[in-house]
Structure 1
Amino acid sequence: MTGVDADVRNPAPNGVQAYPSLAEATMVWARIAALSFGGPAGQIAVMHRILVEEKRWLGDDRFLHALNFCMLLPGPEAQQLATYVGWLMHGVRGALVAGLLFIAPGVFAIMALSWVYAALGDVGLIAGLFFGLKAAVLAIVVQAVVRVGRRALKNRAMQAIALASFVAIFLLGAPFPAIVLAAALIGWAGALAGLAAFRPGGGHGAVGKRHVADGQSLLGEEHIERGHAAARGVFIAGIGALALWLAPVTALVLLAPGSVFADIAVFFSKLAVLTFGGAYAVLAWVAQEAVGTYGWLAPGEMLDGLGMAETTPGPLIMVLQFVGFMGAFREAGWAMPLVAGTVGGLLATWVTFAPCFAWIFLGAPWMERLRKNTALSAALTAVTAAVVGVILNLAIWFAMHVIWREVVAWQAGPLMLDLPVLHSIDWAAAVLSAFALAVVFRLKLGMVAVLGGAAGMGVVLHILGLA
């Protein structure tokens, strides 16, 4: 099962093939990649507008089915959604084109910004620029909580799952994979029990204002089933992606144990396997481990990296390239730290995204055969609700490290959390964060305006000696 082949394309009324060629699709995927700002919510909205509403290459139901599956996978759901749709349309080649183009702009942009940051990040206007970006990023993460919550928390059951998820990770330090598994099991059991809250339509709402049925799109139901030879081909592609991912990890563990490169390879490989629910959920774990456990960068620098990812096209999870860069830049011990950082950043990117292709190649054919399974749909919906609680935890974590200069750990029995030291408040950061929140929620300005305005104000505050 490798997607839509030439023999199943839909002819136009004049007999000309209306189904897009791979070359035409490549141009569209490049356009989507260039417009993929604003994190997963914005990127998914761009894909829906272009693929469903404008091109009508697939319908709403098919798009949401693919999105639900990608929300359940570890890693960045927007990039995996592009890979899934690319596979549906043009098989393995289409998946590679869509998936690689989606991340290419971010790889080059984040690497360039990482070089600038490593050389000049603590100097003059650069420091003010990133000071402003931190406030904008905080507003964007809070906005993500609201947007995803409105879409996912359609009833009290979903709201309860989100609340339980937040309490588990914020107060109890529960591992995110366990939270996702518990939510999926609750959704699955609720559907099998016939509870109304877990029936189809109880989770995701429509993505976009205009509904396009599968029958109105070029990728209709007749394109679901494929022959066994094609299925073997996509399975082999999945195994190949796994091998390309694990080969450098194994080599580094065996040949350079204890090095920062081995640590990067192993840590980000764990992320690729164990972090579910998209980029915002991944960041909660990265912030905890990269800052607290490995000491690769400070909490403020984590926010700087997120600001880079928010201001460049591509997946928000591309911030991991910055984390890998800074870790190797400081820990490798090379005479050329920028070269070490480049290797570390590219290694982090490789082990983060190579598994994404494997998950799609190995899982998408199976998911296509289970499109009508209501229990699976309910499990996916419950996972999305749990992710809302995780993103809320991330928003609070960011707020504490942006607005206060000092944070202390507090524990009482099973309860453990970080608390800000109140007298260490950074009033400039607090005012700028409040301004960014007002711009996002009251003025409803776009992502570029919010990030650019906050960055400019950060520079001004730095010049005035207030930041």
Structure 2
Amino acid sequence: MSTSTTQVAPQDVEKLSPDEAALDQGLPTHLESLKNEYEDNSRVPKLSILQIFWLFFSQFGIFAWGGPVAQIALIKERLVVKDQWITMARFYRVFGVYQILPGPEAAELCMFFGCLAGGRWGGLAAGLGFSLPGFVLMLIASYIYVVVGFGNTYFDASFRALQPMVAAMNPTSMTCYGQILRATHKIMEHALVSHETKQLNVWLVIFALFTAVNSALRINWFISLGIYGLINMALVRRYWPIAGLLFVLQYVGYALYVVFRGVPSPLALALGIARTPDLSHLFVLGLVAGSLSFGGAYTAIPFIQAEAVILGGWLPQQVFIDCIAIGNLLPAPLVIFATFVGFQGGYVHGGLGYAFSGATVITIGMLSPCFIFTIIGHHALEKLVRNKFLGAFFDGVCGSIVGVIAIIAVQILGETVGTTGRIKPTTVDGVLVVASHDAVAAVLYLLALAVLYKFTHKYTSILLILCGALAGQFLFV
């Protein structure tokens, strides 16, 4: 019994579609190539739980200086560009999914890669490895703050010098450091490029710009991400009227809100759940804040401020500002500022011993949502990333993310290079002091930037921190 096969004549090959020609030659089709691009885990190493913990502790947790932009760039350059665990296209699709989930994106990305290398326990180990250095350092900083206090001249001087220097830190690879805006540019190189044509997608650029505008109008980033994801789905299918309607409706809704409720206020999220900073209320405060932290800690900051500073009254406004500034200094996701809040609340409620418990429970509450969504829902999230129907939505989200990251970068730069607000310029001399301190901060920022570009060793940032703390004693004492 013989089996016959149908051969395609050479003169007919040019009549075939690209996929048909690939099949005839035994090559993967375009659709199969796209599938491999988003599903291929063949380059991901299989690691033990301890290996995963140490990888994310030693390579990312300790060197996570410079905030979310820096941390995401560090993870991308090491695991995607250098080690090639997954493709760049898949990375940005996954990043798009985590942007619409609560929690720090850098920690979620670490847990995602941990899940690839070691399952759910690997994801837990990766998340703990990334978060532990920042948590321990924030505990130490909280203790020093309570015992010594920012009223101490020497402590305050080092803090002033470190702020602008940390603003310049943004690792864009394992061994190369740059500034925050440079990292935004690096992310834009891929997030604003069409995965189909490999060309700059003008629509994604527009989404980024209008997301930045929405942020200035105090429109929640989560709303912007969803709107521009849906708009991109409509544009890809050439549903022009629907895309235009969605774009207009977001501003009509905003205008109606302003007319009837006034300009959106950060205090609108306050629920009154932490009027007393005991352990149960601190845990709930962290849990709710973590559940609201879409786009990272910046969404949670006004909520905790409303609960602890305005409604609770147990956290002074200046102390709250200090804890955000310290969070920006540490190698950790910015949500780690909640550790400081819990420490202060516990200290007010039950003394120094109670403070460590308060710091621990609020941190567990703050990080629980991102751990739950990322680890327990890992396989469901993977299906979302692979779903081609939702691909256009995630591309739109990625474009909008660039606007969010750019706003974050500018905010961090403005907060750290500018005055800390400690000097009250009530006289002409006071104004001159503020101006001179701002000038010194700008010089420190530029010097740190020059050093980071010149010296590419991964320990450069740590040496800069030590030098900055020492320099502050000579500049601001």
Q: Are residue 73 (structure 1) and residue 101 (structure 2) matched?
A: yes
Aligned mates of 1:441, 1:18 — CA distance in 2: 35
Do 1:432 and 1:454's aligned partners in 2 also have CA atoms closer than 8 Å?
Answer: no
Alignment partner of 2:399 out of 369, 382, 392: 382
Relative to structure 1, the CA distance from residue 123 to residue 301 in structure 2 (aligned partners, 3 Å threshold; closer, same or farther) is: same
Please, which of 408, 429, 434 is the counterpart of residue 426 of structure 1?
434
Match of 2:219 in 1: 174
Distance in structure 2 (CA, Å) of the matches to 1:447 and 1:364: 33
CA distance in 2, matches of 1:394, 1:112: 23
Q: 1:277 Cα shift?
A: 1.9
The structure-2 alpha-carbon separation of the partners of 1:60 and 1:306, relative to structure 1 and needing over 3 Å to count, comes to same
Residue 105 of structure 1 and its aligned partner are, at CA, apart by 1.9
Q: Deviations over 1:11-36 (max 9, x none)?
A: 9xxxxx97434444343233233333
2:57 aligns to what?
Answer: 30
Are the equivalent residues in 2 in contact too, given 1:403–1:427 (CA < 8 A)? no
Describe the shift of the 1:49–1:442 C-alpha distance in structure 2 as closer, same or farther (beyond 3 A): closer
> Does 2:162 align with 1:133?
yes
1:66–1:85 Cα contact (<8 Å) kept = no
Q: Give aligned-pair identity as a percent.
A: 23
Q: Please report the TM-score for the alignment, with normalisation by the length of structure 1.
A: 0.67
Deviation at 1:389, TM superposition (A): 5.2
Deviation at 1:441, TM superposition (A): 4.3
Question: Which residue pairs with 2:354 in the alignment?
Answer: 340
- Structure 1's 46 and 138: CA in aligned 2 closer, same or farther, altered over 3 A? closer
Counterpart of 1:47 (choices 72, 75, 82) is 75
Match of residue 238 from structure 2 = 193
CA distance in 2, matches of 1:289, 1:183: 31
Residues 225, 397 of structure 2: 8 Å contact kept: no
How far off its partner does 1:307 sit? Answer: 4.9
Q: Deviations over 1:40-93 (max 9, x none)?
A: 333334434443455554444443333332233221111111111111222221
From the superposition, tell whether residues 403 and 430 of structure 1 become closer, same or farther in structure 2 (CA, over 3 Å).
farther
The corresponding residue for 1:164 is: 210
How many angstroms apart in 2 are the aligned matches of 1:439 and 1:28?
31
| Partner Cα distance (2:205, 2:305) in 1 | 26
Asked whether the 8 Å contact 1:192–1:375 carries over to 2, the reply is no
- Farther off after superposition, 114-123 or 424-433: 424-433
Question: What RMSD over aligned residues (CA atoms) do the two structures have, in Å?
Answer: 3.9
* Equivalent-residue separation in structure 2 for 1:9 and 1:189 (angstroms): 31
Q: CA deviation at 1:349?
A: 0.5
Change (3 A) 1:61 1:287: same
Structure 2: which amino acid aligns with 1:117?
Y
2:173 alignment counterpart: none
Mapped to 2, the partners of 1:159 and 1:270 lie a distance apart of 33
Q: CA deviation at 1:283?
A: 4.7
**Aligned residue identity for 2:352:** L
**What letter matches 2:75 in structure 1?**
M
Aligned partners of 1:133 and 1:451 also within 8 Å: yes
Q: CA deviation at 1:462?
A: 3.5
Question: In 2, distance between residues paired with 1:352 and 1:379?
Answer: 28
Residue 104 (structure 1) shift:
1.7
Instruction: Encode CA deviations 1:192-233: one digit per residue, 9 max, x unaligned.
Output: 4389xx9xxxxxxxxxxxxxxxxxxxxxxxxxxxxxxxxxxx
Contact 1:329 / 1:340 at 8 angstroms: preserved in 2? yes
Separation of aligned partners in 2, 1:27 and 1:283: 30
Deviation at 1:111, TM superposition (A): 0.7
CA contact (8 A) 1:325 1:341 kept: yes
Structure 1 residue 126 displacement after superposition? 1.3
Indicate whether 1:455 and 2:469 are aligned: yes
CA distance in 2, matches of 1:459, 1:158: 46
Distance across 1 between alignment mates of 2:156 and 2:77:
37
Residue identity in the other structure for 1:347: V
Asked if 1:270 corresponds to 2:288, the answer is yes
Structure-1 residue corresponding to 2:248: none
Cα contact 1:75–1:282 (8 A) shared by 2 = no
User: What is the CA–CA distance in structure 1 between the aligned matches of 2:307 and 2:438, rounded to whole Å?
Assistant: 26
> 2:383: which partner in 1?
369
Shift of the 259–58 alpha-carbon distance from structure 1 to 2, 3 Å rule, reads same
Taking the aligned partners of 1:54 and 1:390, their CA distance within structure 2 comes to 28
TM-score by length of structure 2 reads 0.66
Do the aligned residues in 2 keep the contact of 1:84 with 1:364 (CA within 8 Å)?
yes
Structure 1 residues 403 and 191, CA gap change in structure 2 (3 angstroms): farther
Alignment check: 8 A CA contact 2:277 2:346 kept: yes
Aligned match for 1:20, one of 40, 47, 53: 47
Q: Distance in 1 between matches of 2:340 and 2:475?
A: 25
2:112 partner SS? helix
Letter in 2 for 1:186: I
Question: Shift in Å at residue 460 of structure 1?
Answer: 1.7
Q: CA deviation at 1:351?
A: 0.8
